[in-house]
Structure 1
């Protein structure tokens, strides 16, 4: 309602009411036109929206001026409008002022004045706030003001009870409870008023009714205050009786004298303990050292700090611990919320807190000094002879709490903050506690305490999944649990399904009073603009973790600057440190909800062009590093294409050298991130980038036997290339998938993939690609025993490799031809072909992978000729090469060859040790074929040593492996060896 004197100003239409309401909610502050448009049309404005807003503003001005108001009440101020409150009375301002006066009266022990101010404030209400006005922002504000009104009413009834007006309060308290049955404070006041009015039975029935409603609707008992009131009524505790307020003490010669005259006051200001608290045993034990650190007769104050991301439960832990150690602080427990992250209030000043703390500690209001330094001095003097627990919640800067730290005495200060507060030195050191997310079991326990154990235990798998979707973050867990508790018809799986959609998860966890998004937003608004932008851009990446060069690529800047901003995000709890990877780089990651919020911000604040450009820079930097790592490991073999459409991004050479000191270790450290980049690049249609990256990663997939990763990446890149009509990329990925099938001994599937690749390369006019496929098909021919066809394919491919200058592929073809010669009983020809392959590999800088393969083939040829000394030397060289590359599967093959050589030379024990080491490597790579071959050889070694039982066991296991993977030739060899060992054993027996 708008009034001028006694007359009402007519405000017509829903739009006028909504726009006027928005201006009234922000008196003296500019409300942007975009905000007005968004609220009035609920995010779907017409093209003429801004014009229509201007028309509404003109109509409001006209209506106000028509009642004789000369000055301009609604002013135009870029980028919107503001309401000038000067000379005009706003109910919201008056209400807030009266409530503040009432709170001050309560602090200064003037209950009558407090009751009067609260009464005047509540009399301003003439119904629900902003009734009849629509729009999400207005409705949210209306809900907030309703909460403020109820809090003021509860505070007023508390004061009225202090004044002994319990009987007068009964009718309106009963009505208030019916309207808000789950407000514990209102229930408390009703039950206390009933008890003091001599209605003890009604008080007990009110408690039982409250307990039934809390269990039915929330799945939990009332809080500790109501429980304690119930217990006190049962024993007729004298403390419940009404006592008239004490008169203010007479002034003395000074604050200390007045305080001494009245005796020591023991404040107890801790909030109620957190219901449904779960876990945090280690953290509580660390905080216990704050008490232990004081010791008997200690004069030193202790200081603790709890840090962590928004919603991780810092306040809950502080309050839980404070209640646990109450008896250790006989002189009082003080609590203050410094509002370091409050969107509705400015941070509480240390001067205000000192004033309140001094009054709580018994200093008369008139004796509280005006100056900050004098307040600090008095505060520290009062605490000097006391043992008080001081909890300072939601601290943002050390400057906020420096004046609140005791100078001496046995008191303890416990601080909670989202910042690290490096200037705050905690003592003992273990008193600095950083909260992470809850362990899985504790997270599920927390759900059960709020939802009810039966519902959670009935769906254990879904409950674990729900905890993970909430990041095991206590705030998110409590919100999710409260939703389940309020909806008994929902199953746990139903809520899991709703939260599984990443695009909606923050919406689902940001309903009601507690909102995950809002808690993140309060921290985000305090970030430096550069750190905020990096945070947003990081949210665009689907990688599980990352290092500093990723941040530099996103910002198109320097790595050192990126590291500084990333560390800033770590300090502000937006990122967490994973650890140091094998290349010596620090790795960082998001919690999932934090990443979802970052992505949401990026889509709101960055243009599509900027988002795509940032991702593109990261992806192409990945390709630059991966290709160089592949070149260093394999000599830069052909990608199977005649030209290259994927642009690379230049990178600092010093950083590149640092990252690729051990190329395979870099691949290993970045494996999961690279897999995610391939998938994301493919989804964005960056087909050339995706398939080139898969080709570069082949050296990792092969050497560490990551077949599922290889398949997944190749399939994503293939789909992108096929969609784009990219024949070379399509062919390359068909070929890679054929190699995966070959590793799995699925020869038919592998052949089909390779033949598809061959047809695509032919259509694309790419002879080099065709030659690579022919080389792969030749390998399959060898397995099938089709030696003539395989050799013919290699003879066709070899001149193509030489013409193209693809030395690595040339060497690969030569050593495969050597293997065909071995299979055909021509070991001397195999030696010559292998020596050619070795010479080619030695001419290629960095082709250690090819050199190992060629040398292995040469060693096998020497072994076939019975040249055991030469064979052992070459196998030993292979072992040295692959061990230096951390090529585990290559090492298994090399050790198998070395063991076979030693076994043939009669060094049975040395062969046995070599086979056992090879078996360990094979198990680590989970490669059944090589494991079966090693077990077969190991069984023979045990048989030669006379341990036929162990020999048969290993050969039997090898036979089972060959049968499982479907390898008839090796199955026959194992069966024959098992039969031979059995016969030999029988003859010896």
Structure 2
């Protein structure tokens, strides 16, 4: 009941009626409360989320937060498909319908009973059949009749009174040269409707029957695929590398060694470039790919999978495979309608070929596993914000974790943007500007762009504007983008407890701390706190190094990340909560120092911005 109306309050009375439609016991409200408590514990144990179900008078509400509800994802894809169709984007609409249908597994809400549930099941199944018919019509238009006849025959057999499905089957038979079968499908449907309902088929179905009898030319075959790559054309999909790319000498050398050592051999050459938002993962991947493109004469494929992108929906492997196969010259009529089939065909097409594949902005292994070639003559480069453990389990992966640029490289990047003369005229200010930008390529690019747009500013003037931490993040986050937006995507991808830890650590007046500090700010035990700290490390939101003894770790914020963490704490934690966090930290710090363990020298405060 809660999942059927996400984000909306469902009253206890409605829940009671749904569970006990014939009359509720006296303990109904208590039993509902017990069930909700059990669900909360289940969600917390499974996903670290204790806030998915909240009390909201006069009942409860389920808050999906950053989690995906399958029916919501399904309805969003269907809506996008219909919008694409209205814009004339037939192939894209067809792919979106296919993605939506891939989320449908068996009967909706199977095994759950009740009048309200049955009503919703009926609605969902009608919606599902409508989408099946819309998708079939598009596939018939784009890919021809042969792949569809068996599926449509099953659909018509299971739902013999649905006229649109029957019309698609008639047209598929006719376009496949089976005129007699097409007429027989109409006759069977008409006989059934007359016998069971006492009515003739609708005008659309009768009109189609007449056109088949006339061999009308408007019933012609499938349209040509406008997206297919001409035979013999080699895909070259790499976008232009940033002109300001600078440094990363060691990383480029490691990628070259990987290619020299493993090209043409098993295992497949795979590199994963990870790092925080704005660190230059995509720039490195594309810069290197362009340098070695000539070693892959059969083509270069590129896909931005929108793994961390609030403006664009996550790109599924189903849709990516469709585009890759077309780029490799596979006719649309040969592209399978299921993910397994597309993945198998992709591996077959790549067999024996040298193709470079760049998969940018990856969210999960599920998103890329079907896109992996089956032989070692290809090479795959992946960029992600977090290390994908499943990828390491299945493949031999060169892992490249990007950190801040070297101190001497930051002025070089600024010079490429603002000009060597301008940056070279004040090298000390340029070095300081690089430090204030945390030597983060995105921040440096924004700073360089500011200098270009403000030719009357000196480097020192911009440096002075960034010295104040309260202004720095605003200066480096123009509009709704920049550093703050990039950090925000990684922050929101964390579980609730991880977000809480991250922002509370931003309250401390120190940029480095050991795991006991995380336990103190969360008021939890050290083992749980360390697990959450590792989530922050995996997300590249904090850096890690050796602690005060061989058995501990020490963690560190970059300055910009620490400013962002403080911003989130001040926006999401009350003043009372912030004070409590700092009191626990001070108490724990005193205990640590009392045992003679080195601790940071600092003064904690609940307000202001870290310097």
TM-score scaled by structure 1?
Answer: 0.39
CA distance in 2, matches of 1:539, 1:299: 46
Tell me the equivalent position of 1:541. Answer: 508
CA distance in 2, matches of 1:249, 1:285: 48
- Match status 1:337 vs 2:325: no
Question: How far is the alpha carbon of 1:624 from its aligned partner?
Answer: 2.2
CA distance in 2, matches of 1:619, 1:294: 53
**Larger-gyration structure (1/2):** 1
Tell me the equivalent position of 2:437. Answer: 470
Tell me the equivalent position of 1:526. Answer: 493
Alignment CA distance shift 1:408-1:94 (3 Å): closer
Tell me the equivalent position of 1:350. Answer: 317
Query: Contact conserved, 1:369 with 1:375, CA < 8 A, in 2?
Result: yes
Query: Contact conserved, 1:384 with 1:409, CA < 8 A, in 2?
Result: no
Tell me the equivalent position of 2:74. Answer: none
Tell me the equivalent position of 1:575. Answer: 542
Query: Contact conserved, 2:84 with 2:92, CA < 8 A, in 1?
Result: no
CA distance in 2, matches of 1:620, 1:334: 55
Tell me the equivalent position of 1:293. Answer: 261
- Match status 1:371 vs 2:359: no
Alignment CA distance shift 1:545-1:317 (3 Å): same
CA distance in 2, matches of 1:684, 1:388: 54
Tell me the equivalent position of 2:162. Answer: none
Tell me the equivalent position of 1:451. Answer: 418
Question: How far is the alpha carbon of 1:625 from its aligned partner?
Answer: 2.4
Alignment CA distance shift 1:429-1:458 (3 Å): farther
Tell me the equivalent position of 1:265. Answer: 233
Partner-residue secondary structure (3-state), 1:342: coil
Question: How far is the alpha carbon of 1:429 from its aligned partner?
Answer: 6.0
Alignment CA distance shift 1:494-1:545 (3 Å): same
Question: How far is the alpha carbon of 1:499 from its aligned partner?
Answer: 1.1
Question: How far is the alpha carbon of 1:344 from its aligned partner?
Answer: 1.8
Question: How far is the alpha carbon of 1:96 from its aligned partner?
Answer: 6.1
Tell me the equivalent position of 1:380. Answer: 347
Tell me the equivalent position of 2:28. Answer: none
Tell me the equivalent position of 1:277. Answer: 245
CA distance in 2, matches of 1:390, 1:573: 24
CA distance in 2, matches of 1:484, 1:427: 46
- Match status 1:404 vs 2:392: no
Query: Contact conserved, 1:300 with 1:410, CA < 8 A, in 2?
Result: no
- Match status 1:619 vs 2:586: yes
Question: How far is the alpha carbon of 1:422 from its aligned partner?
Answer: 1.2
Deviations along 1:167-224, one digit per CA (max 9) or x if unpaired, are xxxxxxxxxxxxxxxxxxxxxxxxxxxxxxxxxxxxxxxxxxxxxxxxxxxxxxxxxx
Query: Contact conserved, 2:413 with 2:444, CA < 8 A, in 1?
Result: yes
Tell me the equivalent position of 1:101. Answer: 89
5+ unaligned residues in a row in structure 2: which ranges?
9-60, 63-79, 96-221
Alignment CA distance shift 1:453-1:684 (3 Å): closer
Deviations along 1:396-432, one digit per CA (max 9) or x if unpaired, are 1111101001112400010000011011139996721
Query: Contact conserved, 2:546 with 2:554, CA < 8 A, in 1?
Result: yes
Partner-residue secondary structure (3-state), 1:541: coil
Task: Select which of 597, 602, 607 maps to 2:564.
Answer: 597
CA distance in 2, matches of 1:684, 1:332: 55
CA distance in 2, matches of 1:354, 1:435: 28
Question: How far is the alpha carbon of 1:94 from its aligned partner?
Answer: 8.8
Query: Contact conserved, 1:479 with 1:514, CA < 8 A, in 2?
Result: no
- Match status 1:510 vs 2:498: no
Tell me the equivalent position of 1:552. Answer: 519
Task: Select which of 294, 299, 324 maps to 1:327.
Answer: 294
Alignment CA distance shift 1:485-1:93 (3 Å): farther
Tell me the equivalent position of 1:482. Answer: 449
CA distance in 1, matches of 2:548, 2:381: 35
Q: CA RMSD in A?
A: 3.2
CA distance in 2, matches of 1:555, 1:470: 30
Question: How far is the alpha carbon of 1:481 from its aligned partner?
Answer: 0.7
CA distance in 1, matches of 2:305, 2:297: 24
Query: Contact conserved, 1:575 with 1:589, CA < 8 A, in 2?
Result: yes
CA distance in 1, matches of 2:85, 2:477: 31
User: How many correspondences in the alignment?
Assistant: 408
Partner-residue secondary structure (3-state), 2:493: coil
Question: How far is the alpha carbon of 1:29 from its aligned partner?
Answer: 11
Partner-residue secondary structure (3-state), 1:516: helix
Query: Contact conserved, 1:279 with 1:438, CA < 8 A, in 2?
Result: yes
Partner-residue secondary structure (3-state), 2:389: coil
Alignment CA distance shift 1:93-1:359 (3 Å): closer
Question: How far is the alpha carbon of 1:304 from its aligned partner?
Answer: 0.7
CA distance in 1, matches of 2:583, 2:88: 54
Deviations along 1:368-407, one digit per CA (max 9) or x if unpaired, are 1101111011000000121000000000111110100111
Alignment CA distance shift 1:292-1:474 (3 Å): same
CA distance in 1, matches of 2:368, 2:223: 30
Alignment CA distance shift 1:419-1:468 (3 Å): same
Partner-residue secondary structure (3-state), 1:293: helix
Question: How far is the alpha carbon of 1:104 from its aligned partner?
Answer: 4.7
Alignment CA distance shift 1:493-1:94 (3 Å): farther
Tell me the equivalent position of 1:441. Answer: 408
Alignment CA distance shift 1:428-1:580 (3 Å): farther
Query: Contact conserved, 1:289 with 1:430, CA < 8 A, in 2?
Result: no
CA distance in 2, matches of 1:281, 1:302: 20
TM-score scaled by structure 2?
Answer: 0.62
5+ unaligned residues in a row in structure 1: which ranges?
1-27, 32-77, 80-91, 108-247, 252-257, 630-665, 686-989
Question: How far is the alpha carbon of 1:103 from its aligned partner?
Answer: 8.1
CA distance in 1, matches of 2:549, 2:291: 43
Deviations along 1:550-582, one digit per CA (max 9) or x if unpaired, are 011111110111100001110011111022334
Alignment CA distance shift 1:366-1:94 (3 Å): closer
Partner-residue secondary structure (3-state), 1:535: helix
CA distance in 1, matches of 2:461, 2:319: 48
Query: Contact conserved, 2:321 with 2:371, CA < 8 A, in 1?
Result: yes
